[in-house]
Structure 1
Amino acid sequence: MPREDIAFQTSDNVTLRGWFYLPEASSTTPLPCVVMSHGFTAVKEMYLDKYAATITSSLPISCLVYDHRGFGASDALPSAPRLEIITSLQCSDLSDAITYAQSREDVNKEKIGIWGVAFSGGHCIKVGAVDRRVKAVLSQVPMVNGWENFHRLTPPHLVAGAEGKAAMTIPVSPLNPKATPAVQGIDAHEFFFGLGKGTEWKNEVTIKTMEEFRSYNPWVHIHRISPTPLPMAIAENDTLMPTDLALTAYSKALEPKELQLLPGGHFGGYGAHFENVVKCQVEFLKKTLYT
């Protein structure tokens, strides 16, 4: 698929960089656009290119893919550390990405969708609830309840680190099995070190990020997404973004909504279940943005 390197400014003048995908066949009219961003610490080269290429090869639709501030190819504020996730800023940046998409002459300004996975799946829930420019909200294995999620996964001494002790960083998924990770599990390790190899992904994240994780609860906004349609893909055995938390959030969403249950764990959408996940997303986009 045709792919253009792009850059745009956020409301606080940070440059975010990414790609803009178009279908192979040229169009004389502006096309719908899906704005896509990745999950916890991941960069756009870690399968977002495959999602965007598949969507644009299946429908006359465009995709805008970008790296979060401080990650991958995107900048951070001069005074801010890289490799730090401030959820309010990432949500604001998502709205700025929508603004950039709408500024393009090849984009239909009235047909903007947002797509997010894991952490950014939560961002899509929050932004989709408050930004009425969004006409479709695609949320895949989302983080919905930071407090519950954090305390199920995080060792007590790391909780103390997030409560005001000296600032430090920790590995996202450590090579040393005795180290404390931000994300636990062999499947997470295989994802980050497999798909992250040869990219700008870094195996590091700030402790401030973990504090933000704990206080982030996008599920409280989910009932406000309606009447914008919401398809949510949830893994049946997700231990990183627990299945029961995601299902509880989904139950609070109002119609129109669609639930796709994926066999296996959190990372299945990047491998064994990619084809099924993206097929359902294409069908949803065909019904909502394309028609």
Structure 2
Amino acid sequence: MRSDVEFCSEGRTLHGWLYRPGAGADTAAAVVMAHGFSAVKEQYLDRYAEVFQAAGLGVLVYDHANFSASEGLPRQEVDPVLQKRGYRDAISFAQTIPWIDPARIGIWGTSYSGGHVIAVAAIDRRVRCVVAQVPFISGSLSAQRRTRSDLVPAQLRRFEADRAARFRGAAPAMLPAVSADPLQPCAMPGPDAHAFFTGTQDFAPNWHNAVTLRSAELSRENEPAVHIARISPTPLLMIVAQDDILTATDLCLEAYQRALPPKDLVMVPGGHFDPYLRHFDRTSTAARDFLVAHLGAIV
């Protein structure tokens, strides 16, 4: 069974889905889930939630502040600090649901939110286990790889001009999330990113191909993996794509090496978006088995 839910985070109402497992114990373990950079829950998170639900887990899936039906201004702004706080408030909300065991809650994140859950698991001991799929590791290192050094000064000037304009009361500058034109600046470059997002428009109409320019600036400041060694003793599963250029494979593997046990690593072929589609069965099953093992779900 799936129901629509809402909860408050940082003064904003966030909207999502709550999945309750079928027959079994009066209380169930649960997993909290949210999507990555600019993405909304309809972009395949329902498929993961259904796998976890079938294994006896409750699932709370929600949209980040400023996106889809969730409240927040500026619209389409990806604020990593706000989104991490959203995860923590989602855990608090899940703990108020009568049939969820408040001591058995895990978190799952993917891409940008894969970085969020690394940080949240390191600082919030209510988290019993964490799954980070193709996680965002380092804003500074990612920026160095995505932007040629000779183009960085102009990019920083755009950030400064936007900040000055917003201070004067102007609307925030916007940036495409993805683009088919390799010469057009966008938040997530590459044909695979464009194909993934535009391929979901029929069933995810609330996704919009735009983020604030400040989202890119905030991304440069986001360093979730500095916390990774502090996740232990909370169990960590990291799912990494072998040829990921968006959240680079080598950065993910280096971060995994810095994590302390207990930890598990699953490698899948392909690029950043293959875990959602071509290797969905493998990634969803790996996450399901890990969550069940550490949360003690009852089928």
Aligned length: 284
Alignment of 1:2-41 (within 5 A): 2-10=1-9, 12-23=10-21, 25-41=22-38
Would the aligned equivalents of 2:180 and 2:191 in 1 still touch at CA under 8 Å?
A: no
Would the aligned equivalents of 1:234 and 1:261 in 2 still touch at CA under 8 Å?
A: yes
User: TM-score, normalised on structure 1?
Assistant: 0.94
Report how far residue 86 of structure 1 moved: 1.2
Alpha-carbon distance in structure 1 between the residues aligned to 2:182 and 2:275: 26
1:230 is aligned to 2:226: no
Alpha-carbon distance in structure 1 between the residues aligned to 2:258 and 2:181: 40
1:206 is aligned to 2:212: yes
1:186 is aligned to 2:191: yes
Report how far residue 163 of structure 1 moved: 3.9
Partner of residue 108, structure 1: 101
User: TM-score, normalised on structure 2?
Assistant: 0.91
Given candidates 150, 157, 160, the residue that maps to 2:143 is 150
Would the aligned equivalents of 2:182 and 2:190 in 1 still touch at CA under 8 Å?
A: no
1:93 is aligned to 2:91: no
Report how far residue 159 of structure 1 moved: 3.9
Find the residue that maps to 1:195 and give its secondary structure: coil
Q: Which amino acid aligns with 1:14?
A: R
Q: Deviations over 1:52-83 (max 9, x none)?
A: 011111x111110000001111110xxx3110
Alpha-carbon distance in structure 1 between the residues aligned to 2:201 and 2:122: 31
Alpha-carbon distance in structure 1 between the residues aligned to 2:119 and 2:182: 35
Alignment of 1:225-264 (within 5 A): 225-264=231-270
Would the aligned equivalents of 2:240 and 2:266 in 1 still touch at CA under 8 Å?
A: yes
Alpha-carbon distance in structure 2 between the residues aligned to 1:16 and 1:174: 28
Q: Sort the Cα spacing of 1:134 and 1:154 in 2 relative to 1 into closer, same or farther, 3 A.
A: same
Partner of residue 201, structure 2: 196
Would the aligned equivalents of 1:42 and 1:201 in 2 still touch at CA under 8 Å?
A: yes
Alignment of 1:130-145 (within 5 A): 130-145=123-138
Alignment of 1:266-285 (within 5 A): 266-285=272-291
Find the residue that maps to 1:18 and give its secondary structure: strand
Alpha-carbon distance in structure 1 between the residues aligned to 2:28 and 2:44: 23
Partner of residue 71, structure 2: 75
Find the residue that maps to 1:51 and give its secondary structure: helix
Report how far residue 89 of structure 1 moved: 0.7
1:45 is aligned to 2:42: yes
1:126 is aligned to 2:119: yes
Report how far residue 164 of structure 1 moved: 4.4
Q: Deviations over 1:32-65 (max 9, x none)?
A: 00000000000000000000011111x1111100
Alpha-carbon distance in structure 2 between the residues aligned to 1:281 and 1:111: 16
Q: Which amino acid aligns with 2:61?
A: V
Find the residue that maps to 2:199 and give its secondary structure: helix
Q: Deviations over 1:216-274 (max 9, x none)?
A: 00111001100000000011110000111111111110000001111110001111111
Q: Which amino acid aligns with 1:170?
A: L
